[in-house]
Chains A and B, each alone.
Chain A
């Protein structure tokens, strides 16, 4: 058991089934504050399921997880977002018909308070908050490097920009843990390099990052520690170099997806 101060997210024997299919079986792992933690595994290994469990989209069937000193077994997505877990989606889920700026402003929802009364009267506090929301949203656009696109509709952005916008939107919720589901998918080499730099910048800003990725090179070059899932089970965990040499991992990749990615 890692002390609370050091451990941010800890999964204890998490299990999840869909009908007869076991998507996650008895998965335990812990993520330390301030690290970039990678989650890899062949297709269908249960990575996205694990993601959906810790972000509240799925309810787990057994086990529990601790986040920032709080235990969760059943929880709604918005409460986990409140607690400090923000995510992006494997298939980008931006608010396609809102501008980039508006997307991030929606991300600020959680950390702002104006209700009906404030919206109607636009009293001083409400106006100040709205100004602050716009300012923060612009800052975040700049932070991820798409400040020129603030008036553009999300769906008109390029693929790489959409990925960045989704990250900016997640950052707007002021997360402790940023969970990214295959952020480099579909990116070209240049975009991937830029993404890597962005993630390092985010970590340097004190945010812990959980990363699912197919691009093993990116994972190995970026992550402090890596866990490998296969058929819903954790088969390895450790620093990238260790994991890379793990016979179980090599077997899983060679047997699983047939490629020598690891």
Chain B
């Protein structure tokens, strides 16, 4: 029972992070129909920037709260600029190109960012200098610490803000219009390019927050951390139904739960044949199963055959 609760807690925390990153994938896909392969690396850059700025501010003897806030803001700012540039340089010129061309440039961007990070921060793991002692709490036999609680709460706050933004503001309406029908939206006077840029920046800001969260949770930062995280988050987005914001959130949390429960129990299920090192397999098995049974994802609309 304790194990179950503990795995659920871990799953929720990890799932919140997946959800934030998945939102970035899904927003871009919804508007451009493009898999932004480089999004995982944006998360990594966010984490790296946050770590570096936090370190510097703490050395400069800033109060911990201020230092954390400022470093988070710095990471968000850098990532937004990065997201904007990626779209301008690697995607916008290819908007009418064959479908696979932007995928290749996305892969190129991903390689560039990864290796740039390796040059700047090196190959080693860095400790994330979180200036708080994260107290652990007992919760019905399971352990949960402050950072984990903060992650879930902040993720919830951000996601509700995003929903408000998309459904209640002018910019949000423009985004929805562009994702429905770019040409029609443009004829109605929506500035498509601006909407797309804003979408990339929003997604990248979320990625920065997610990067901060992962690093704070695990206490380490590494140039390669964005790859698997991005892959999982994309999986989560597809699981929920790509292009659908609620789907991305649901998919993220669900994937987190499935992974952590799967890893916790796989040994028992298979009689010790498969161990928790198969954790990563779960994500993909579930994904394949869901897509075969429900090809549009959990919350995706059934897309009519496009003429």
Contacts and interface: CB of A to CB of B under 8 A. Distances in A.
A touches B (Cβ under 8 A): yes
Interface of A: 57, 89, 91, 93
B98 to A, nearest CB: 11
Interface residues of B, number: 2
A111 to B, nearest CB: 26
Contacts of A89: 307
B303 to A, nearest CB: 14
A57 B305 CA distance: 10
Contacts of A93: 307
4 contacts: A57-B305, A89-B307, A91-B307, A93-B307
Contacts of B305: 57
Nearest to B305: A57
A57 to B, nearest CB: 8
A89 B305 CA distance: 13
Nearest to B304: A18
Interface string B276-307: 00000000000000000000000000000101
Contacts of A91: 307
A188 B27 CA distance: 44
Contacts of A57: 305
Contacts of B307: 89, 91, 93
Nearest to A90: B307
A89 B307 CA distance: 10
A17 to B, nearest CB: 14
Nearest to A89: B307
B62 to A, nearest CB: 58
A29 to B, nearest CB: 25
A248 to B, nearest CB: 31
B302 to A, nearest CB: 10
A134 B307 CA distance: 29
Nearest to B307: A91
A93 B305 CA distance: 13
The 4 closest A-B pairs by CB, nearest first: A91-B307, A93-B307, A89-B307, A57-B305
A91 B305 CA distance: 13
A135 to B, nearest CB: 32
A91 B306 CA distance: 11
Interface in B243-261: none
A213 to B, nearest CB: 19
A155 to B, nearest CB: 15
Nearest to A18: B304
Nearest to A19: B302
A93 B307 CA distance: 8
A96 B90 CA distance: 28
A79 B168 CA distance: 49
B190 to A, nearest CB: 26
A62 to B, nearest CB: 21
A60 B156 CA distance: 44
A18 B79 CA distance: 44
B253 to A, nearest CB: 29
B208 to A, nearest CB: 41
B57 to A, nearest CB: 56
A97 to B, nearest CB: 11
B305 to A, nearest CB: 8
B11 to A, nearest CB: 35
A21 to B, nearest CB: 13
A182 B305 CA distance: 19
Nearest to A91: B307
A142 to B, nearest CB: 29
A4 B305 CA distance: 35
Nearest to A92: B307
Nearest to A57: B305
A91 B307 CA distance: 7
B185 to A, nearest CB: 22
A178 to B, nearest CB: 21
A30 B307 CA distance: 29
A77 to B, nearest CB: 12
B295 to A, nearest CB: 16
B294 to A, nearest CB: 17
Interface string B148-185: 00000000000000000000000000000000000000
